[in-house]
Structure 1
Amino acid sequence: MISVDIPVDIGRDEAADAARRELSDPAYQAAEPSWLAEAIEWLLGRLDALFTAAAGLTSASPVAWLLLALLVVIVVLVVRRRLGPTRRQAKASHEVFSGEKLTAAGYRRTAEAALAEGRLADAVRDRFRAIVCGLEERGVLDVRSGRTADEAANEAGKRLPALAEELRQGAVQFDDVFYGGRAATEDGYRRLVALDETAAATRPLAAAR
């Protein structure tokens, strides 16, 4: 059953805030296909216009406000139903490696080449792969196919606890950018570079027996 966080006894301001809060969820904005994200932007604009127009109706009856609140509920339900699978997919973690696997040094080279060519998403992907591959080469992680970004971060975080949060953030960036369609940034890439260098210089805890 779908739950919508809009109270039954709702006023104009509460209805507007609830609609904007729900439809401004970043998971909707990063939705694929792109026309769905554009449709959400259009819908937000129309709701803003609707609430602005309604603000001048100070003599509106309680029935009118109730109808407006019901309209908000219907819009949110439709959007959630349509984009539910997309949101779940965007939040899922994905495999780190696919295709022919390189060495950590090889991934670093391809990441820097992608950065130089302005392909930031590819740069982020390969730099995170370099981190994971480097940890495998050092024995911090077991070499295992099919490992997801979340799994790599969680497993590595147990051996490198001081870097656990940075590893988790790196995994989120990898999934969001390369699989979730979120725009990559050079700052995000530089954070992965720093994490790669720090992880390489950090002595891991002994593996649990």
Structure 2
Amino acid sequence: MIAPVEPGADEAREWLLGELSKPPYQAARPTWFDLVSQAIGDWIASLRVPDGSGLGGLLPVIAVAVVVVLLVIAVIVFGRPRLNRRSAVAPGSLFGDDDTRSSAELRASAERAAAAGDFGTAVQEAFRALARRLAERTVVMTGPGSTAQDFAARAGRSFPPRADELRACAALFDGVRYLDRPGTRDGYERVHALDRLLDAERPVALDAVAPQTVSAGRA
């Protein structure tokens, strides 16, 4: 007959941990979802309708109901968060080019080109800076199918007093980029001035029209 083994305290602890680490025991352990669900269930179970002696037991239910109602009202009044509008911005596409630069970087590039006498590039970079700035402000979105004229039309609805000037600057951009017209200092300064004016003004409304998609060939 084999004498029973009497392990020491440390050895017994190791045996126990080894046994509990086996798959059947691990599979029986509650998951984090089980623990969260149990906690929520316990909280709900703790809510009790008052027995007539006071409203103390009903206060948690009232508080939750008030929060839910306020959230619903906020969504109805203010709409979805503006952060969702930012997700619609296509920072890598700007009038047919893959361009991730910020408005500040585009403005600096336009200024450098103007200082070097390259007003064709200066006009294009200045108009891109204007468009990128309005996109950064979530006023007018730009996308892969946005053209300069499409952008100008939508921006004009947000800034009605500047609608004509927006179309004129878009025509300057198109003339330099697509029609081989020479850029001029006056053209650059006109686009640059409009960029600064719009940056200091508040739009009458945010752009509610998705950028139009056009066929390849002109962006």
Distance 1:174 1:207, change over 3 A: same
1:123–1:189 contact (8 Å) kept in structure 2? yes
Q: CA deviation at 1:202?
A: 1.0
Return structure 1 stretches of 4+ with deviation > 3 angstroms.
none
Q: Report the counterpart of residue 202 of structure 1 in structure 2.
A: 201
Q: Report the counterpart of residue 146 of structure 1 in structure 2.
A: 145
Structure 2 residue matching 1:142: 3-state secondary structure:
coil
Distance 2:153 2:127 in 1: 14
Please tell me the residue identity of whatever aligns with 2:185.
E
2:142–2:151 contact (8 Å) kept in structure 1? no
Deviations along 1:14-69, one digit per CA (max 9) or x if unpaired, are xxxxxxxxxxxxxxxxxxxxxxxxxxxxxxxxxxxxxxxxxxxxxxxxxxxxxxxx
Deviations along 1:100-149, one digit per CA (max 9) or x if unpaired, are 32110010011011111111111000000000000101111124223100
Q: CA deviation at 1:97?
A: 4.5
Q: Report the counterpart of residue 164 of structure 2 in structure 1.
A: 165
Please tell me the residue identity of whatever aligns with 1:111.
A
2:140–2:207 contact (8 Å) kept in structure 1? no
Distance 1:126 1:143 in 2: 15
Residue 191 (structure 1) aligned with residue 205 (structure 2): no
- Name the TM-score, length of structure 2 as normaliser: 0.50
Distance 1:139 1:167 in 2: 17
| Structure 1 unpaired stretches of 5+ | 1-94
Distance 1:127 1:143 in 2: 16
Please tell me the residue identity of whatever aligns with 2:99.
E
Pairing of 1:11-30 with structure 2 (within 5 A): none
1:159–1:204 contact (8 Å) kept in structure 2? yes
- Name the TM-score, length of structure 1 as normaliser: 0.52
Q: Report the counterpart of residue 127 of structure 2 in structure 1.
A: 128
Structure 2 residue matching 1:168: 3-state secondary structure:
helix
Q: Output the aligned Cα RMSD.
A: 1.5
Higher RCO (C-alpha under 8 Å, 6+ residues apart)? 1
Distance 2:193 2:99 in 1: 25
Distance 1:97 1:119 in 2: 21
1:97–1:129 contact (8 Å) kept in structure 2? no
Segment of structure 1 superposing worse, 189-198 or 97-106:
97-106
Aligned residues: 115
Pairing of 1:3-14 with structure 2 (within 5 A): none
| Structure 2 unpaired stretches of 5+ | 1-93, 209-219
Please tell me the residue identity of whatever aligns with 1:117.
A
Q: CA deviation at 1:200?
A: 0.4
1:124–1:184 contact (8 Å) kept in structure 2? yes
Residue 107 (structure 1) aligned with residue 123 (structure 2): no
Please tell me the residue identity of whatever aligns with 2:194.
L
Distance 1:155 1:145, change over 3 A: same
Rg: which structure is higher? 2
